[in-house]
Amino acid sequence: MRKKFDKQMTELHEKIVDMCSFVENSLKDLESALVNKDKDLASEIYKRDPLVDDMEKDIEDLVSRIIIRQQPVATDLRKLTAALKIITDLERIGDQTQDISALILKMEDKPYKIQLVVLSTMFREVRDMLKIAIDSYVVGDLDLALKIQQRDDLIDECFLKVRNNCVNAIKEDSTYADQFVDLIQVGKYLERIGDHAANIAEWVVYVETGKHRDLN
């Protein structure tokens, strides 16, 4: 029974890693679509959301089968509970990825009036946060999960920079106000994605300690 349980848990981890990688790749493509104003790529990313939903449902079904057949307790049950919470956060990241792609699709074809360096930093950081959070879950590394907090703080700082830069730019040239507002919204969605990555790390802490800890 234990061998079967371990095999199913390995399958579960692989599916969660695949779901995370899919979302992570969409974020990478999304940065490219934003920087290059590539609306074809943005449209493709927008249409990926149902695939994320399908992955979530598939993992939910697997977790349900494991619980029914194996009746896990203690740490094993916490791992399965955490898995359900983790895929909910991944699904919401997929939703916010779709939201950003929708913003790109409605942007006017004007050159950017400010540099996107800080937003690019946010894209990179949230991808790294996701990878760290999922890796910490798969290997059960509490110390790795706790590193998320520093990165989440950096994301928050970056968003404040984006917002301040755009507000100042609006004051200087209101002609591009719509563009600046859209970029603030992109930054806000990225901040929320960082929060979801932190949520995942919090569930790792719960699995390893049996206690909840706020990393946001």
Nearest alpha carbon to residue 118 among 38, 187, 185, 30: 187
CB neighbour class for 176 (10 Å; exposed up to 12, middle 13-18, buried from 19): buried
Query: What pLDDT is recorded for position 1?
Result: 66
Distances in Å between the Cα of 62 and the Cα atoms of 154, 168, 210 are 35, 50, 23
What is the pLDDT tens value at each position of the chain, 216 positions in all?
Answer: 678 889 999 999 999 999 999 999 999 999 999 999 999 999 999 999 999 999 999 999 999 999 998 888 888 999 999 999 999 999 999 999 999 999 999 998 889 999 999 999 999 999 999 999 999 998 989 999 999 988 999 999 999 999 999 999 999 989 999 999 999 999 999 999 999 999 999 999 999 998 888 877
Query: What pLDDT is recorded for position 35?
Result: 95
Which residues, at least 6 apart from 137, have a Cβ–Cβ distance to it below 8 Å? 13, 16, 82, 86, 145, 200, 203, 204, 207
Structure token digits, residue 25: 């790749």
Radius of gyration of the chain from its Cα atoms, rounded to whole angstroms: 19
As assigned by CATH, the class of the 2-209 domain is mainly alpha
Query: What pLDDT is recorded for position 200?
Result: 94
DSSP 166: H
